[in-house]
Amino acid sequence: MTKVKSVAKDFDRLLNDKNVKYIAEYIVNSIGDLEEVFEQSLDYEFDLKGGQVIGKDIANTFYNFDTNDETVLNKIVSYMNLLTDKEVKDRIESFDRFRKDVGEYIENNLKIKLEEKIRKHILNNSSKELFPLRSINILDFELSDKPEIDYVIVVQKNAPPGVETPPVSQELIELSKTGRDFKDIIAEKKASGDPKYRYVSGAYKKKYWYEVRLNMYVDYSAKKKGQV
């Protein structure tokens, strides 16, 4: 019981203004820097009409990554896993406020740096004259532990149109636990005449869950003619 209380207090101590600043700066600085985080993805999805983004304040840019063992982010996630259900419930409000503070710090203090990162890694260094990026809003900063399996298996098939093929992804997951790669497993199955693999041409893992997720709205609208 004493140990659990100590963990709860340690968790509470991490939710402070100093760490709001540290985490906000760490997130923005790590975008595009694979040495800072283990795995990361910077994705975007938006529609344009007449060069203007459709939909305002709807998340269209997503920065996701897993934490480094040496960071405050990792400590927070680790402590979260040691809290009891009641302790988690008692801390939802303070934790949500902490997450909100991180997002607001990025918006209010790091927007220029964030714009540079987005311009470099999404817009391929396009000029401000073409894409002013007039709005960058942080909609949500999420932080949570990842599940034991944080990926899905994408199976590539070359079946003729109309031919239904049986699923093999779960079998590939189980067989790959021995350390074998998908290429060798598929080749062996084909060689043995397994009909399930007749049209399978390959497979790969696609990560779908990250410990840290920053959801943003970015105005990717092109500059209008005559617009200042």
Torsion of CA 188, 191, 197, 200, to 10 degrees: 80
- For residue 61, pLDDT beyond 90: yes
| Residue scoring higher pLDDT (207 or 154) | 154
- For residue 228, pLDDT beyond 60: no
| Residue scoring higher pLDDT (160 or 225) | 160
Q: Name the band, by pLDDT with cuts 50, 70 and 90, for residue 2.
A: very low
Residue 93 Cα to chain centre, angstroms: 23
- Can you give the pLDDT at residue 54? 86
Sign of the four-CA dihedral 77, 82, 84, 86: negative
What are the pLDDT digits (tens) for 70-94?
789 999 999 988 999 999 999 999 9
Give mean pLDDT, residues 20-41: 83
Q: Quick one: how many helices (H) and strands (E) in the chain?
A: 8, 8
| Residue scoring higher pLDDT (147 or 205) | 205
- Can you give the pLDDT at residue 10? 92
Q: Which helix (H) or strand (E) holds 171?
A: helix 169-176
